[in-house]
Amino acid sequence: MKTYAFIIALTTAAAAAWAAEPIATLRGPTPLVEQGAAPTMPKVSNEDLRRLRNYPEQPPTIPHHIRGYQIDLNANKCLSCHSRRATVDSKAPMVSITHFMNRDGQFLASVSPRRYFCTQCHVTQQVTRPLVGNDFIDIDSVLSDQN
């Protein structure tokens, strides 16, 4: 009996804490047992301007839409603009030299299989309000604040 009382007390405490401090959730206020209305799909940002990278190793985000761009065994739509040969006509930035390296750091003649599925690392951005805030400060700002 004591154990039950303890569990009930715990659950009540947890519920009270949750009610006091609502956490950001994609589900919104809809109760768990109900199916909420699907949110409208945000537009993919397509402003064609290369974005600032937050740190040097960051895969740059994609500044254009990629709807219907096929990437599979037979075709890679991304490389039809971003490959070494295609950039003359497409004016797209060439995939970086790291994309030609195998896992031993050797440069291959064409894009390495490790880098073939571009969207594994590169993503588009959506025109939408962020779910949670972000106070990331990049290293240049950290260094300049120290001086």
- Which residues sit at the interface with ligand HEC, rule CB under 6 A? 48, 50-51, 57, 59-60, 62-64, 66, 69, 76-82, 90-93, 95-96, 98-99, 111, 115-122
How near is the Cβ of 47 to ligand HEC at its closest, in Å? 8
Nearer to ligand HEC, 27 or 51 (CB): 51
Which is nearer to ligand HEC, 10 or 75 (by Cβ)? 75
In angstroms, what is the minimal distance from the CB of 112 to ligand HEC? 9
Q: Which is nearer to ligand HEC, 91 or 103 (CB)?
A: 91
Distance CA 67, CA 123 (A): 12
As a whole number of angstroms, the distance between CA 130 and CA 147 comes to: 32
Cα separation, 3 vs 105, whole angstroms: 60
Q: Which is nearer to ligand HEC, 8 or 121 (CB)?
A: 121
Burial 56-69 (b: 16+ CB within 10 A, else e): eeeeeebeeebeeb
Nearer to ligand HEC, 84 or 115 (CB): 115
Q: How far is the CB of 66 from ligand HEC (least distance, A)?
A: 4
In terms of C-beta density within 10 A (0-12 exposed, 13-18 middle, 19 or more buried), how is residue 80 classed?
middle
Minimum Å distance from CB 76 to ligand HEC?
Answer: 6
> Is residue 19 classed as helix, strand or coil in its secondary structure?
helix
* Chain Cα centroid distance, residue 54: 13
Q: State the minimum distance, in angstroms, from the CB of residue 101 to ligand HEC.
A: 9
